[in-house]
Amino acid sequence: MSATLLNGKELAAKKREQMKSKIEQLAVENITPGLAVILIGDNAASQSYVRGKQKACAEVGIYSELIERPDSITEQELLVEIDRLNEDPAIDGILVQLPIPAHISEQAVIERIAPNKDVDGFHPINIGKMMTGEKTFLPCTPYGVVEMLKEASIDLEGKHAVIVGRSNIVGKPVGQLLLNENATVTYCHSRTKDMRNLTTQADILIVAIGRPKFVTAEDVKEGAVVVDVGINRVDGKLCGDVDFDGVKEKASYLTPVPGGVGPMTITMLLENTIQSAESRK
């Protein structure tokens, strides 16, 4: 047996085609969705991510504005920049590309973005709404993961989902979204005792810890659905947190790296921006 690939690249392309028609409908009402990205400093990875976001915006017809600032920007200067974008009627979504310099409080920045323009889904108000199952902007990577599972017609209700990793960006929210879909959720992390005992019980195993090939075939139940959120570079090649070659012989479904979860993250960012623009009507 070899796992069926959950192809995020294909699903992202399909969703972006659907977005184009939504944006055409908004254009009839003189609305163009707008996304502003603030990029601080010259981190090569951040610059690459931002280019990807700009390219994706152009592809579907979203107006994008890039604001580049040096590492020396003060926290107050950055907050003023965010305030300006909060007031700008042409901007529906604001994101500050992480990481940001150590002298600036990440939490202060996240909380300064207006909740109705928080297309990253990180504002405490939007996190709270997600927890209670209200309609809100969902964090992009977890949102993308759940969309992939639904697209593959994987039934989530009553399934045991095990999440390896508890970050605020992926681990915690993806568990909550699966709970909202009536899955039973277990979290594993660096302090978990006998992690393999838990991962081998998972019907759905989601791995997001940033450690190359950490999860091996021995950690996976026969026929499990395995979603690899990790992106690591080893000897110049990209790989995930899951040992793909070993696990594909045991899993029923498996995401590749690259081409799995990654393309869905930017796609759900576009989806959130369009959703924000639609609320202007």
Distance separating alpha carbons of residues 230 and 28, to the nearest angstrom: 40
Query: Which residues belong to the annotated binding site for NADP(+)?
Result: 165-167, 231
53 is catalytic: yes
203 is catalytic: no
Tens place of pLDDT for every residue, the chain, 281 residues? Answer: 699 999 999 999 999 999 999 999 999 999 999 999 999 999 998 999 999 999 999 999 999 999 999 999 999 999 999 999 999 999 999 999 999 999 999 999 999 999 999 999 999 999 999 999 999 999 999 999 999 999 999 999 999 999 999 999 999 999 999 999 999 999 999 999 999 999 999 999 999 999 999 999 999 999 999 999 999 999 989 999 999 999 999 999 999 999 999 999 999 999 999 999 999 87
Query: Which residues belong to the annotated binding site?
Result: 165-167, 231
Q: What pLDDT is stored for residue 45 in this prediction?
A: 87
Alpha helices in 61-205 (DSSP H): 75-87, 106-112, 124-131, 140-151, 171-180, 195-199
Distance separating alpha carbons of residues 180 and 172, to the nearest angstrom: 13
30-114 and 139-262: same fold? yes
275 is catalytic: no
Fold of 139-262: Rossmann fold (3.40.50)
Q: Which of 53, 159, 221, 248 is catalytic?
A: 53
Q: Using alpha carbons, list the distances in angstroms from residue 266 to 220, 250, 262, 273.
A: 28, 29, 7, 11
Q: What pLDDT is stored for residue 1 in this prediction?
A: 66
Q: Which of 15, 22, 92, 97 is catalytic?
A: 97
Please state which of the four CATH numbers 3.40.50.150, 3.40.390.10, 3.40.50.10860, 3.40.50.2300 is assigned to the domain occupying 30-114. Answer: 3.40.50.10860
Q: Confirm if 157 and 185 have CB atoms less than 8 A apart.
A: no
Tell me the domain boundaries of the chain: 30-114, 139-262
Q: Which of 120, 219, 228, 243 is catalytic?
A: 120
